[in-house]
Chain A
Protein backbone atom coordinates (compact mmCIF):
# COMPACT_ATOMS: atom_id res chain seq x y z
CA UNK A 1 0.00 0.00 0.00
CA UNK A 2 1.17 3.46 -0.85
CA UNK A 3 -0.29 6.68 0.46
CA UNK A 4 -1.21 9.07 -2.32
CA UNK A 5 -3.09 12.34 -2.71
CA UNK A 6 -5.56 13.48 -5.33
CA UNK A 7 -7.35 16.76 -5.68
CA UNK A 8 -10.76 15.43 -6.58
CA UNK A 9 -13.34 17.91 -7.76
CA UNK A 10 -11.42 20.64 -5.98
CA UNK A 11 -10.92 18.80 -2.69
CA UNK A 12 -7.69 17.14 -1.51
CA UNK A 13 -8.19 13.45 -0.69
CA UNK A 14 -5.60 11.12 0.80
CA UNK A 15 -5.87 7.41 0.21
CA UNK A 16 -3.94 4.18 0.18
CA UNK A 17 -3.62 2.23 -3.05
CA UNK A 18 -1.86 -0.87 -4.30
CA UNK A 19 0.27 -0.60 -7.44
CA UNK A 20 -2.22 -2.76 -9.34
CA UNK A 21 -5.31 -0.74 -8.40
CA UNK A 22 -6.99 0.74 -11.46
CA UNK A 23 -8.12 4.38 -11.25
CA UNK A 24 -11.70 3.59 -12.32
CA UNK A 25 -12.11 1.05 -9.50
CA UNK A 26 -10.58 3.39 -6.94
CA UNK A 27 -12.85 6.26 -7.96
CA UNK A 28 -15.98 4.14 -7.81
CA UNK A 29 -15.26 1.78 -4.94
CA UNK A 30 -12.90 3.66 -2.61
CA UNK A 31 -14.02 7.21 -3.23
CA UNK A 32 -17.69 6.63 -3.97
CA UNK A 33 -17.66 8.56 -7.23
CA UNK A 34 -20.08 6.59 -9.36
CA UNK A 35 -20.29 8.80 -12.45
CA UNK A 36 -17.44 7.09 -14.32
CA UNK A 37 -18.84 3.82 -15.62
CA UNK A 38 -17.22 0.58 -16.60
CA UNK A 39 -18.36 -0.24 -20.11
CA UNK A 40 -15.67 -2.16 -21.94
CA UNK A 41 -12.83 -2.03 -19.39
CA UNK A 42 -10.29 -1.82 -22.22
CA UNK A 43 -10.28 1.72 -23.54
CA UNK A 44 -12.80 1.35 -26.34
CA UNK A 45 -16.05 2.92 -25.14
CA UNK A 46 -15.31 6.12 -23.22
CA UNK A 47 -17.81 5.44 -20.43
CA UNK A 48 -15.07 5.71 -17.79
CA UNK A 49 -13.71 9.09 -18.92
CA UNK A 50 -12.57 11.60 -16.28
CA UNK A 51 -10.50 14.77 -16.51
CA UNK A 52 -6.95 14.31 -15.26
CA UNK A 53 -5.20 17.65 -14.83
CA UNK A 54 -7.84 18.98 -17.21
CA UNK A 55 -7.41 16.39 -19.95
CA UNK A 56 -9.89 13.64 -20.70
CA UNK A 57 -8.51 10.18 -20.05
CA UNK A 58 -9.83 6.66 -19.77
CA UNK A 59 -9.77 5.76 -16.10
CA UNK A 60 -9.98 2.05 -16.94
CA UNK A 61 -6.51 2.31 -18.53
CA UNK A 62 -4.76 4.18 -15.73
CA UNK A 63 -3.27 2.91 -12.52
CA UNK A 64 -4.44 4.81 -9.47
CA UNK A 65 -0.86 5.16 -8.28
CA UNK A 66 0.18 6.99 -11.47
CA UNK A 67 -2.05 9.94 -10.59
CA UNK A 68 -0.49 10.78 -7.22
CA UNK A 69 -0.62 14.55 -6.75
CA UNK A 70 -2.87 15.17 -9.74
CA UNK A 71 -6.25 16.87 -10.11
CA UNK A 72 -9.16 14.66 -11.09
CA UNK A 73 -12.53 15.97 -12.15
CA UNK A 74 -15.62 13.86 -12.59
CA UNK A 75 -19.20 14.73 -13.47
CA UNK A 76 -19.88 15.05 -9.72
CA UNK A 77 -17.50 18.02 -9.81
CA UNK A 78 -18.74 19.55 -13.03
CA UNK A 79 -22.24 19.76 -11.62
CA UNK A 80 -21.42 20.62 -8.02
CA UNK A 81 -22.27 24.33 -8.30
CA UNK A 82 -25.36 23.77 -10.38
CA UNK A 83 -25.65 22.25 -13.81
CA UNK A 84 -23.28 23.47 -16.50
CA UNK A 85 -24.61 25.08 -19.67
CA UNK A 86 -23.81 21.83 -21.43
CA UNK A 87 -25.73 19.73 -18.93
CA UNK A 88 -28.72 22.09 -19.24
CA UNK A 89 -28.66 21.54 -22.99
CA UNK A 90 -28.49 17.77 -22.59
CA UNK A 91 -31.64 17.93 -20.50
CA UNK A 92 -33.44 20.42 -22.75
CA UNK A 93 -32.81 18.32 -25.84
CA UNK A 94 -33.41 14.96 -24.17
CA UNK A 95 -29.98 13.94 -25.39
CA UNK A 96 -29.76 10.59 -23.61
CA UNK A 97 -31.94 7.56 -23.27
CA UNK A 98 -30.53 4.99 -20.85
CA UNK A 99 -27.85 7.49 -19.82
CA UNK A 100 -25.01 5.04 -19.36
CA UNK A 101 -22.76 6.94 -21.77
CA UNK A 102 -23.74 10.36 -20.40
CA UNK A 103 -20.92 10.86 -17.87
CA UNK A 104 -18.23 9.98 -20.40
CA UNK A 105 -19.82 12.14 -23.08
CA UNK A 106 -20.09 15.00 -20.59
CA UNK A 107 -16.38 14.73 -19.78
CA UNK A 108 -15.32 14.69 -23.45
CA UNK A 109 -17.63 17.54 -24.41
CA UNK A 110 -16.61 19.61 -21.38
CA UNK A 111 -12.94 19.25 -22.34
CA UNK A 112 -13.80 20.32 -25.88
CA UNK A 113 -15.83 23.37 -24.88
CA UNK A 114 -13.23 24.56 -22.37
CA UNK A 115 -10.52 24.48 -25.06
CA UNK A 116 -12.71 25.50 -27.97
CA UNK A 117 -15.84 27.36 -26.85
CA UNK A 118 -17.28 27.64 -30.38
CA UNK A 119 -16.74 24.19 -31.87
CA UNK A 120 -17.82 23.24 -35.37
CA UNK A 121 -19.76 20.08 -36.15
CA UNK A 122 -16.52 18.36 -37.13
CA UNK A 123 -14.85 19.45 -33.88
CA UNK A 124 -17.72 17.96 -31.88
CA UNK A 125 -17.71 14.70 -33.81
CA UNK A 126 -13.95 14.38 -33.36
CA UNK A 127 -14.15 15.11 -29.63
CA UNK A 128 -16.92 12.56 -29.09
CA UNK A 129 -15.58 9.93 -31.49
CA UNK A 130 -14.32 7.80 -28.59
CA UNK A 131 -17.63 7.77 -26.72
CA UNK A 132 -19.94 4.97 -27.74
CA UNK A 133 -23.67 5.35 -27.25
CA UNK A 134 -25.90 2.42 -28.05
CA UNK A 135 -29.21 4.24 -27.69
CA UNK A 136 -29.40 7.63 -29.31
CA UNK A 137 -27.71 7.60 -32.71
CA UNK A 138 -25.69 10.57 -31.37
CA UNK A 139 -27.72 13.29 -33.08
CA UNK A 140 -29.30 14.82 -29.95
CA UNK A 141 -25.97 14.62 -28.11
CA UNK A 142 -24.04 16.40 -30.82
CA UNK A 143 -26.77 19.01 -31.20
CA UNK A 144 -26.63 19.80 -27.47
CA UNK A 145 -22.87 20.28 -27.54
CA UNK A 146 -23.16 22.57 -30.57
CA UNK A 147 -25.89 24.61 -28.92
CA UNK A 148 -23.97 24.82 -25.65
CA UNK A 149 -21.05 26.14 -27.68
CA UNK A 150 -23.08 28.71 -29.55
CA UNK A 151 -25.06 29.98 -26.61
CA UNK A 152 -23.06 29.13 -23.51
CA UNK A 153 -19.58 29.46 -24.88
CA UNK A 154 -17.00 31.34 -22.88
CA UNK A 155 -19.65 32.89 -20.69
CA UNK A 156 -21.38 29.68 -19.79
CA UNK A 157 -20.64 27.62 -16.71
CA UNK A 158 -18.51 25.03 -18.41
Chain B
Protein backbone atom coordinates (compact mmCIF):
# COMPACT_ATOMS: atom_id res chain seq x y z
CA UNK B 1 0.00 0.00 0.00
CA UNK B 2 1.34 3.37 -0.90
CA UNK B 3 1.31 6.27 1.49
CA UNK B 4 -1.32 8.60 0.12
CA UNK B 5 -0.51 11.54 2.35
CA UNK B 6 2.21 13.89 1.06
CA UNK B 7 4.96 15.39 3.18
CA UNK B 8 8.41 16.84 2.79
CA UNK B 9 11.54 15.04 3.91
CA UNK B 10 14.48 16.62 5.68
CA UNK B 11 17.69 14.98 6.79
CA UNK B 12 19.43 17.62 8.90
CA UNK B 13 23.21 17.53 9.25
CA UNK B 14 23.22 18.98 12.77
CA UNK B 15 21.15 18.72 15.91
CA UNK B 16 20.65 22.49 15.76
CA UNK B 17 18.98 22.34 12.37
CA UNK B 18 16.81 19.42 13.47
CA UNK B 19 15.56 21.49 16.41
CA UNK B 20 15.02 24.53 14.19
CA UNK B 21 12.83 22.40 11.91
CA UNK B 22 10.82 21.14 14.89
CA UNK B 23 10.24 24.72 16.01
CA UNK B 24 9.34 25.88 12.51
CA UNK B 25 6.75 23.14 11.91
CA UNK B 26 5.00 23.70 15.25
CA UNK B 27 3.91 20.15 15.83
CA UNK B 28 3.37 19.37 12.15
CA UNK B 29 6.69 17.54 11.82
CA UNK B 30 7.48 13.97 12.88
CA UNK B 31 10.85 12.57 13.81
CA UNK B 32 11.94 9.67 11.61
CA UNK B 33 14.37 7.13 13.09
CA UNK B 34 13.66 3.42 12.63
CA UNK B 35 10.19 4.16 11.23
CA UNK B 36 8.95 0.65 12.02
CA UNK B 37 5.95 2.15 13.80
CA UNK B 38 5.73 5.46 11.96
CA UNK B 39 5.58 3.82 8.52
CA UNK B 40 2.49 1.84 9.52
CA UNK B 41 0.84 4.97 10.90
CA UNK B 42 1.63 6.87 7.70
CA UNK B 43 0.12 4.09 5.60
CA UNK B 44 -2.99 3.97 7.74
CA UNK B 45 -3.26 7.75 7.73
CA UNK B 46 -3.35 7.94 11.53
CA UNK B 47 -0.55 10.50 11.42
CA UNK B 48 -0.39 13.14 8.70
CA UNK B 49 2.74 15.24 9.20
CA UNK B 50 3.79 18.05 6.88
CA UNK B 51 7.40 17.06 7.26
CA UNK B 52 9.49 14.09 8.33
CA UNK B 53 12.80 14.87 10.00
CA UNK B 54 15.23 11.99 9.55
CA UNK B 55 17.68 12.02 12.47
CA UNK B 56 19.77 9.08 11.32
CA UNK B 57 22.48 11.43 10.06
CA UNK B 58 23.06 12.89 13.53
CA UNK B 59 26.01 10.95 14.91
CA UNK B 60 25.67 12.58 18.35
CA UNK B 61 22.55 10.42 18.77
CA UNK B 62 24.48 7.18 18.13
CA UNK B 63 26.01 6.96 21.64
CA UNK B 64 25.92 3.66 23.47
CA UNK B 65 28.24 4.09 26.43
CA UNK B 66 28.73 3.73 30.16
CA UNK B 67 29.36 7.13 31.72
CA UNK B 68 29.52 7.93 35.43
CA UNK B 69 27.54 4.91 36.51
CA UNK B 70 24.90 5.37 33.82
CA UNK B 71 24.21 3.50 30.64
CA UNK B 72 23.64 6.13 27.95
CA UNK B 73 21.58 5.11 24.94
CA UNK B 74 21.34 7.60 22.09
CA UNK B 75 18.15 8.10 20.12
CA UNK B 76 19.53 6.27 17.08
CA UNK B 77 20.53 3.09 18.92
CA UNK B 78 18.58 0.12 17.59
CA UNK B 79 17.24 -2.82 19.55
CA UNK B 80 19.58 -5.13 17.67
CA UNK B 81 22.54 -3.00 18.77
CA UNK B 82 21.39 -3.51 22.37
CA UNK B 83 21.03 -7.26 21.81
CA UNK B 84 24.61 -7.48 20.55
CA UNK B 85 26.28 -5.05 22.93
CA UNK B 86 28.86 -6.54 25.32
CA UNK B 87 28.56 -3.39 27.40
CA UNK B 88 24.82 -3.98 27.85
CA UNK B 89 25.38 -7.66 28.62
CA UNK B 90 27.88 -6.71 31.32
CA UNK B 91 26.16 -3.72 32.92
CA UNK B 92 22.47 -4.36 32.42
CA UNK B 93 21.67 -7.79 31.00
CA UNK B 94 17.93 -7.22 31.42
CA UNK B 95 18.11 -4.52 28.76
CA UNK B 96 19.55 -6.81 26.11
CA UNK B 97 17.14 -9.58 27.09
CA UNK B 98 14.17 -7.20 26.83
CA UNK B 99 15.41 -5.98 23.44
CA UNK B 100 15.52 -9.58 22.22
CA UNK B 101 11.79 -9.94 22.84
CA UNK B 102 11.00 -7.08 20.43
CA UNK B 103 9.59 -8.40 17.16
CA UNK B 104 12.27 -10.07 15.02
CA UNK B 105 15.69 -9.20 13.61
CA UNK B 106 14.34 -7.46 10.50
CA UNK B 107 12.47 -5.02 12.74
CA UNK B 108 15.13 -4.78 15.46
CA UNK B 109 17.77 -3.83 12.87
CA UNK B 110 15.83 -0.56 12.40
CA UNK B 111 13.65 0.04 15.45
CA UNK B 112 15.14 2.19 18.21
CA UNK B 113 14.43 2.11 21.93
CA UNK B 114 13.91 5.88 21.90
CA UNK B 115 11.36 5.44 19.15
CA UNK B 116 9.69 2.71 21.17
CA UNK B 117 9.10 5.00 24.15
CA UNK B 118 7.91 7.79 21.84
CA UNK B 119 5.36 5.45 20.22
CA UNK B 120 4.24 4.71 23.77
CA UNK B 121 1.86 1.88 23.01
CA UNK B 122 0.80 0.16 26.25
CA UNK B 123 2.56 -3.08 25.30
CA UNK B 124 5.98 -1.58 24.70
CA UNK B 125 8.67 -4.09 25.64
CA UNK B 126 11.25 -1.53 26.66
CA UNK B 127 9.11 0.01 29.41
CA UNK B 128 9.60 -2.52 32.25
CA UNK B 129 13.41 -2.39 32.18
CA UNK B 130 13.42 1.40 32.00
CA UNK B 131 10.88 1.63 34.82
CA UNK B 132 12.56 -0.76 37.26
CA UNK B 133 15.93 0.93 36.77
CA UNK B 134 14.50 4.47 37.03
CA UNK B 135 15.70 5.60 33.62
CA UNK B 136 15.71 9.26 32.64
CA UNK B 137 14.80 10.56 29.20
CA UNK B 138 16.92 13.49 28.03
CA UNK B 139 14.95 15.72 25.67
CA UNK B 140 15.98 18.93 23.99
CA UNK B 141 14.51 21.75 21.97
CA UNK B 142 15.45 25.30 21.04
CA UNK B 143 14.05 26.25 24.44
CA UNK B 144 16.61 24.10 26.25
CA UNK B 145 17.29 20.61 27.55
CA UNK B 146 15.44 18.80 30.30
CA UNK B 147 15.44 15.40 31.92
CA UNK B 148 12.18 13.51 32.35
CA UNK B 149 12.04 10.57 34.77
CA UNK B 150 10.61 7.57 32.97
CA UNK B 151 7.86 7.33 35.60
CA UNK B 152 6.58 10.72 34.32
CA UNK B 153 7.05 9.89 30.66
CA UNK B 154 3.99 7.82 29.71
CA UNK B 155 0.80 9.91 29.83
CA UNK B 156 -1.72 7.83 27.89
CA UNK B 157 -1.66 5.36 25.02
CA UNK B 158 0.51 7.00 22.33
CA UNK B 159 0.96 10.13 24.46
CA UNK B 160 4.15 11.08 26.30
CA UNK B 161 5.71 14.00 28.13
CA UNK B 162 7.51 15.03 24.93
CA UNK B 163 6.48 18.47 23.67
CA UNK B 164 5.91 19.06 19.96
CA UNK B 165 9.17 20.96 19.50
CA UNK B 166 11.26 18.50 21.51
CA UNK B 167 13.53 15.68 20.45
CA UNK B 168 14.68 12.72 22.53
CA UNK B 169 18.47 12.87 22.63
CA UNK B 170 19.16 9.87 24.81
CA UNK B 171 17.93 7.59 27.55
CA UNK B 172 20.09 7.35 30.68
CA UNK B 173 19.83 4.33 32.94
CA UNK B 174 21.55 4.55 36.33
CA UNK B 175 23.16 1.20 37.05
CA UNK B 176 22.92 0.40 40.78
CA UNK B 177 26.24 0.36 42.62
CA UNK B 178 25.22 -2.76 44.55
CA UNK B 179 24.77 -6.17 42.93
CA UNK B 180 21.45 -6.35 41.13
CA UNK B 181 19.55 -8.35 38.56
CA UNK B 182 16.50 -7.53 36.51
CA UNK B 183 14.24 -9.90 34.57
CA UNK B 184 11.54 -9.21 31.98
CA UNK B 185 8.89 -11.83 31.27
CA UNK B 186 6.71 -11.30 28.21
CA UNK B 187 3.57 -13.16 27.36
CA UNK B 188 3.00 -13.45 23.63
CA UNK B 189 1.33 -15.90 21.34
CA UNK B 190 4.44 -16.69 19.35
CA UNK B 191 8.06 -15.68 19.18
CA UNK B 192 9.11 -13.27 16.51
CA UNK B 193 6.43 -10.72 16.03
CA UNK B 194 3.75 -10.63 18.60
CA UNK B 195 3.05 -7.68 20.83
CA UNK B 196 3.05 -8.43 24.54
CA UNK B 197 -0.31 -9.62 25.84
CA UNK B 198 1.09 -8.84 29.26
CA UNK B 199 4.56 -8.25 30.63
CA UNK B 200 6.24 -8.09 34.00
CA UNK B 201 9.63 -6.64 34.84
CA UNK B 202 11.36 -6.96 38.19
CA UNK B 203 14.67 -5.85 39.62
CA UNK B 204 16.21 -7.21 42.80
CA UNK B 205 19.31 -5.98 44.60
CA UNK B 206 21.48 -7.92 47.03
CA UNK B 207 19.94 -5.85 49.85
CA UNK B 208 16.49 -7.17 48.95
CA UNK B 209 15.30 -3.96 47.32
CA UNK B 210 12.66 -4.88 44.77
CA UNK B 211 11.30 -2.95 41.81
CA UNK B 212 8.24 -4.19 39.92
CA UNK B 213 6.74 -2.94 36.66
CA UNK B 214 3.99 -4.09 34.31
CA UNK B 215 3.24 -3.44 30.65
CA UNK B 216 0.24 -4.18 28.42
CA UNK B 217 -2.08 -4.36 31.43
CA UNK B 218 -3.25 -0.76 31.61
CA UNK B 219 -3.29 2.40 29.48
CA UNK B 220 0.37 3.04 30.27
CA UNK B 221 3.19 0.86 31.61
CA UNK B 222 3.48 1.28 35.36
CA UNK B 223 5.49 0.65 38.50
CA UNK B 224 3.79 -0.99 41.45
CA UNK B 225 4.55 0.91 44.67
CA UNK B 226 2.40 -1.47 46.67
CA UNK B 227 4.25 -4.59 45.58
CA UNK B 228 7.60 -2.90 46.09
CA UNK B 229 6.62 -1.89 49.64
CA UNK B 230 5.41 -5.40 50.41
CA UNK B 231 8.65 -7.00 49.22
CA UNK B 232 11.13 -4.41 50.51
CA UNK B 233 13.89 -5.83 52.71
CA UNK B 234 12.38 -9.31 52.82
CA UNK B 235 13.78 -12.57 51.58
CA UNK B 236 11.72 -14.26 48.92
CA UNK B 237 9.89 -17.36 50.13
CA UNK B 238 6.66 -19.14 49.28
CA UNK B 239 4.60 -17.20 51.80
CA UNK B 240 5.86 -13.83 50.54
CA UNK B 241 5.27 -14.82 46.92
CA UNK B 242 1.72 -15.80 47.79
CA UNK B 243 1.11 -12.37 49.30
CA UNK B 244 2.68 -10.72 46.25
CA UNK B 245 0.43 -12.66 43.88
CA UNK B 246 -2.60 -11.60 45.87
CA UNK B 247 -1.73 -7.92 45.37
CA UNK B 248 -1.49 -8.15 41.58
CA UNK B 249 -5.19 -7.81 40.61
CA UNK B 250 -5.58 -4.48 42.38
CA UNK B 251 -2.36 -3.08 40.89
CA UNK B 252 -3.16 -3.57 37.20
CA UNK B 253 -6.14 -2.75 35.01
CA UNK B 254 -6.01 -4.89 31.89
CA UNK B 255 -8.74 -4.93 29.27
CA UNK B 256 -10.14 -7.76 27.22
CA UNK B 257 -9.21 -7.46 23.57
CA UNK B 258 -8.49 -9.61 20.55
CA UNK B 259 -5.18 -10.80 22.02
CA UNK B 260 -6.25 -11.89 25.51
CA UNK B 261 -8.99 -11.58 28.08
CA UNK B 262 -8.74 -9.46 31.19
CA UNK B 263 -8.91 -12.54 33.44
CA UNK B 264 -6.17 -14.34 31.54
CA UNK B 265 -3.93 -11.30 31.71
CA UNK B 266 -4.39 -10.94 35.47
CA UNK B 267 -3.77 -14.62 36.06
CA UNK B 268 -0.65 -14.63 33.92
CA UNK B 269 0.71 -11.49 35.57
CA UNK B 270 0.56 -13.34 38.88
CA UNK B 271 2.36 -16.34 37.39
CA UNK B 272 4.92 -14.17 35.62
CA UNK B 273 5.58 -12.01 38.67
CA UNK B 274 6.41 -15.08 40.70
CA UNK B 275 8.65 -16.53 38.00
CA UNK B 276 10.38 -13.20 37.39
CA UNK B 277 11.10 -12.74 41.09
CA UNK B 278 12.37 -16.29 41.48
CA UNK B 279 14.53 -15.92 38.37
CA UNK B 280 16.01 -12.58 39.42
CA UNK B 281 16.88 -13.77 42.92
CA UNK B 282 18.19 -17.05 41.52
CA UNK B 283 20.43 -15.23 39.04
CA UNK B 284 21.66 -12.97 41.82
CA UNK B 285 22.56 -16.09 43.81
CA UNK B 286 24.63 -17.31 40.87
CA UNK B 287 22.22 -19.91 39.48
CA UNK B 288 21.98 -20.34 35.75
CA UNK B 289 18.45 -19.66 34.55
CA UNK B 290 17.03 -19.53 31.04
CA UNK B 291 15.30 -16.15 31.20
CA UNK B 292 14.13 -16.41 27.59
CA UNK B 293 11.72 -19.21 28.36
CA UNK B 294 10.05 -18.34 31.64
CA UNK B 295 6.60 -18.56 30.05
- Chain A contacts to B: CB under 8 angstroms: 2, 18-22, 25, 41-44, 46, 49, 52, 55-58, 60-63, 65-66, 108, 111, 125-132
Contacts and interface: CB of A to CB of B under 8 A. Distances in A.
Contacts of A55: 80, 109
A30 to B, nearest CB: 12
Nearest to A125: B191
Interface in B31-65: 32, 35-36, 39-40, 42-43, 52, 54, 56
B6 A20 contact: yes
Interface stretch (B98-106, B118-126, B157-165, B177-185): B98-106
B108 to A, nearest CB: 9
B193 A129 contact: yes
B193 A111 contact: no
A41 B106 contact: no
A88 to B, nearest CB: 23
Contacts of B1: 41
Contacts of A49: 106
A56 B78 CA distance: 13
Given A20-B6, A66-B56, A57 B109 contact: yes
B5 interface: yes
Contact of A66 (B4, B6, B35): B35
Interface of B: 1-9, 32, 35-36, 39-40, 42-43, 52, 54, 56, 80, 103-107, 109-110, 191-193
Given A19-B6, A20-B3, A66-B54, A43 B105 contact: no
Contact of B106 (A18, A19, A58, A125): A58
B109 A22 contact: no
A154 B159 CA distance: 47
Nearest to A53: B109
Given A20-B2, A52-B109, A129-B105, 7 more contacts: A22-B3, A61-B39, A61-B107, A62-B110, A63-B32, A66-B35, A66-B54
Contacts of B106: 46, 49, 56-58, 108, 130
- Interface-centre pick from A19, A21, A125 (highest chain B CB count, 10 A): A19
Contacts, number: 89
A18 B7 CA distance: 9
Given A43-B39, A55-B109, A62-B35, A130 B6 contact: no
A132 B7 CA distance: 32
A63 B192 contact: no
27 contacts: A18-B6, A19-B9, A20-B5, A20-B6, A20-B42, A43-B39, A43-B107, A46-B104, A60-B39, A61-B35, A61-B36, A61-B40, A61-B107, A62-B35, A62-B110, A63-B35, A63-B39, A66-B32, A66-B54, A66-B56, A108-B106, A111-B105, A126-B191, A128-B192, A130-B103, A130-B105, A130-B193
Q: Describe A's contact surface by its main secondary structure.
A: mixed
B109 A20 contact: no
B7 A20 contact: yes
A125 B258 CA distance: 26
B80 to A, nearest CB: 8
A47 to B, nearest CB: 11
A17 to B, nearest CB: 9
B9 A63 contact: yes
Contact of A44 (B8, B52, B191, B193): B193
A71 B284 CA distance: 44
B104 A129 contact: yes
5 A-B pairs with least C-beta separation: A130-B104, A129-B192, A19-B9, A20-B3, A61-B39
A22 B32 contact: no
A57 B2 CA distance: 18
Nearest to B84: A115
A131 B9 CA distance: 30
Contact of A65 (B6, B9, B39, B107): B9
Given A2-B9, A20-B3, A66-B54, A61 B105 contact: no
A130 B106 CA distance: 7
B259 to A, nearest CB: 13
A57 B106 CA distance: 4
A128 B192 CA distance: 8
B106 to A, nearest CB: 5
